[in-house]
C-alpha cells in the first residue's frame, strides 16, 4: 500500500509539473475567474486553520506578521492584506495563497536564523501573491488538461504523502478540484522559472527597501537547500527540489553581485538576536513534530546540535525518545534509559522522562528502581491520566511487570 501511494504521488508530481523556462504569456484572469480562485483560497486557508495543523504560537505569528508589515510599509508599490502564520510540518516550505494568506512551515523556520532570512522568504512569497502568479499559472493549458483527466480524485492520497501529516488527509478529503489544484500549485508544484525569477528580484527589492542585508537572501535559500538535502527526495515537495533551489541561489547571487551589491554589510539589518528571541523552543518543538512523523534520524540531528549548545531536561528526554525509535533493541533501550535518567537529573524534568525510565526498569525486572521512579513520576504529575494505574501498581495491586505492561510501554 505504501508503494502504491508513493507511485500515485510521483505520477501526480510529473503530471502537474508546469512547463518551466517559458514566459508567462497568459492574460490576467477576468474578475469571475479571480473570484473563483479567491473562494478556493479562502476555503484552503480555513481548512488549514482548523485542521490542527497550525503551530499555534501567537507571539511567533505576530512577529512574522510584523516582518511582513515592515516589508509592506517600506514598499510603495505593495497592496493588499497579507496574513502570515506558522504551520506545523516536518519539511521546510513556504507558500502564498491568492487571497493574501502566507504560510511558512516550522520545518523552514527551524532552519532559518535571522529576521533578514525570514524577510527574504516572505518577500519572495509576497511577490507571488501581488503578481497573481497562481492565477496565471493555474490558467496554463497543462494544468487545466491534467485536472480535466481526473487527478482531483488522487489528491487526498498524494497530499498525505507529500506533507507527511495524517491530519492533512481530512483537510484534503473534500476539496473541490479548483481548491486542490490551487493547493498543489502554491505549496507543492511551484511556479515557472520566469515567475520564480521575478519573485527573486522583487522579493530582494522589498527586503533591501526595508533595510535588510541582501546577502541574507542567499543564506536563506542555502539553508533551505540544506534542509531538502537532509529530508531526502522521497515525498519532498517539488517546490523544494534541488534544481529549483540551485536556480534560486544562483539568481540571488547574481542580483547581489550586481544591482544590489551596495545593499550588504554595516548598517543593514540582519536581526539574528531578534529572531532567536521569538523562536525559543522551536528546535525542540520541531523534534517532536519529526518524531510524530516517524523521522527519528532527522530529529536526532537537531538534538545533537541543540545539546552542543545547551543541555536541558526536555532535550535529553527527546533524545531518549529518538533513540528508542531509531534503535528498537536492547542496546537502544539502554541508551534511551541513560538519556531519560539524565533528563530526570536536570532542572524541570518532563514527567514523561521519569515515567519512561520507570517503565524500562520495570520491564527489566529492576523493581526497586521502577518503584522509585514511579513514585517520583506521581510527585511530578499527580493528575496524569495514568496516575491511578501507577498508584495501583505501587500499592501492590498490579500484576507482574512482564505480563501486564502499563500504557505507553517503551517496547
Where in the chain is CATH 1.25.40.10? 281-394
Q: What is the DSSP letter of 166?
A: T
Question: pLDDT band at 327, cuts 50/70/90?
Answer: very high
Average pLDDT over residues 13-34: 43
Instruction: Indicate if the pLDDT at residue 71 is higher than 90.
Output: yes
Question: pLDDT band at 297, cuts 50/70/90?
Answer: very high
Q: Which residues contact 201 (CB under 8 A, 6 or more apart)?
A: 251, 255
Percentage with pLDDT > 90 across the chain: 44
pLDDT for the residue 409? 57
Range with lowest mean pLDDT among 56-65, 186-195, 329-338: 186-195
Instruction: Indicate if the pLDDT at residue 169 is higher than 80.
Output: no
274-278 CB contacts, 8 Å cutoff, 24+ apart:
274/115, 275/112, 275/113, 275/114, 275/115, 275/117, 275/118, 276/113, 278/59, 278/60, 278/63
Mean pLDDT for the chain overall: 78
Question: pLDDT band at 167, cuts 50/70/90?
Answer: low
Range with lowest mean pLDDT among 14-23, 89-98, 199-208: 14-23
pLDDT for the residue 9? 32
CA atoms within 13 A on the CB side of 331: 2
Report the first-to-last Cα separation within the chain, whole angstroms: 26
pLDDT for the residue 141? 45
pLDDT for the residue 36? 73
Cα distances (Å, whole numbers) of residue 393 to 178, 384, 397: 56, 15, 5
Instruction: Indicate if the pLDDT at residue 405 is higher than 70.
Output: no
Question: pLDDT band at 343, cuts 50/70/90?
Answer: very high
Instruction: Indicate if the pLDDT at residue 237 is higher than 50.
Output: no
pLDDT for the residue 213? 96
Between helix 115-130 and helix 58-73 the angle, nearest 10°, is 70
pTM of the model: 0.79
Question: pLDDT band at 7, cuts 50/70/90?
Answer: very low
Third-level CATH fold of 281-394: 1.25.40
Range with lowest mean pLDDT among 47-56, 73-82, 300-309: 73-82
Cα-to-chain-centroid distance, residue 18: 24
Instruction: Indicate if the pLDDT at residue 80 is higher than 80.
Output: no
Question: pLDDT band at 191, cuts 50/70/90?
Answer: low
* Angular region, 265: left φ>0, alpha ψ -120 to 50, beta rest: left
Average pLDDT over residues 211-221: 93
Average pLDDT over residues 319-344: 96
Instruction: Indicate if the pLDDT at residue 40 is higher than 60.
Output: yes
Amino acid at each position: 500500500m505504501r508503494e502504491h501511494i508513493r507511485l500515485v504521488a510521483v505520477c501526480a508530481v510529473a503530471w502537474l509539473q508546469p512547463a518551466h523556462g517559458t514566459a508567462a504569456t497568459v492574460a490576467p484572469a477576468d474578475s469571475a475567474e479571480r473570484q473563483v480562485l479567491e473562494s478556493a483560497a479562502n476555503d484552503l486557508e480555513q481548512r488549514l486553520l482548523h485542521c490542527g495543523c497550525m503551530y499555534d504560537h501567537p507571539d511567533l505569528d505576530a512577529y512574522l506578521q510584523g516582518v511582513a508589515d515592515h516589508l509592506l510599509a517600506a514598499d510603495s508599490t505593495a497592496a493588499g492584506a497579507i496574513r502570515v502564520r506558522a504551520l506545523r510540518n516536518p519539511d521546510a516550505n513556504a507558500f502564498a495563497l491568492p487571497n493574501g494568506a502566507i504560510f511558512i512551515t516550522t520545518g523552514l523556520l527551524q532552519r532559518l536564523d535571522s529576521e533578514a532570512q525570514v524577510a527574504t522568504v516572505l518577500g519572495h512569497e509576497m511577490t507571488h501573491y501581488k503578481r497573481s502568479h497562481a492565477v496565471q499559472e493555474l490558467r496554463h493549458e497543462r494544468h487545466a488538461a491534467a485536472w480535466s483527466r481526473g487527478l482531483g480524485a488522487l489528491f487526498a492520497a498524494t497530499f498525505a504523502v507529500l506533507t507527511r501529516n495524517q491530519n492533512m488527509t481530512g483537510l484534503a478529503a473534500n476539496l473541490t478540484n479548483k481548491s486542490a489544484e490551487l493547493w498543489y500549485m502554491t505549496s507543492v508544484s511551484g511556479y515557472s522559472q520566469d515567475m520564480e525569477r521575478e519573485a527573486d528580484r522583487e522579493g530582494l527589492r522589498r527586503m533591501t527597501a526595508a533595510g535588510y542585508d541582501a546577502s541574507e537572501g542567499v543564506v536563506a535559500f542555502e539553508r533551505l537547500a540544506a534542509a531538502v538535502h537532509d529530508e531526502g527526495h522521497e515525498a519532498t515537495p517539488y517546490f523544494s527540489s534541488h534544481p529549483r533551489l540551485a536556480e534560486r541561489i544562483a539568481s540571488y547571487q547574481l542580483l547581489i553581485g550586481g544591482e544590489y551589491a551596495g545593499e550588504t554589510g554595516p548598517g543593514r539589518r540582519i536581526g539574528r538576536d531578534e529572531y532567536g528571541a521569538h523562536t525559543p523552543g522551536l528546535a525542540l518543538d520541531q523534534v517532536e513534530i519529526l518524531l510524530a512523523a516517524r523521522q527519528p534520524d532527522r530529529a536526532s540531528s537537531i538534538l545533537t546540535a541543540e545539546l552542543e549548545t545547551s543541555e536541558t531536561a526536555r532535550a535529553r528526554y527527546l533524545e531518549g525518545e529518538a533513540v528508542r525509535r531509531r534503535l528498537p533493541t536492547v542496546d537502544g533501550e539502554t541508551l534511551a534509559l541513560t538519556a531519560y535518567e539524565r533528563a530526570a537529573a536536570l532542572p524541570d524534568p518532563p514527567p514523561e522522562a521519569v515515567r519512561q525510565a520507570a517503565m524500562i526498569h520495570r520491564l527489566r525486572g529492576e523493581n526497586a528502581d521502577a518503584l522509585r521512579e514511579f513514585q517520583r513520576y506521581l510527585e511530578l504529575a499527580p493528575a496524569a491520566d495514568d496516575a491511578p494505574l501507577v498508584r495501583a501498581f505501587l500499592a501492590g495491586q498490579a500484576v507482574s511487570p512482564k505480563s501486564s505492561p502499563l500504557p505507553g510501554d517503551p517496547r
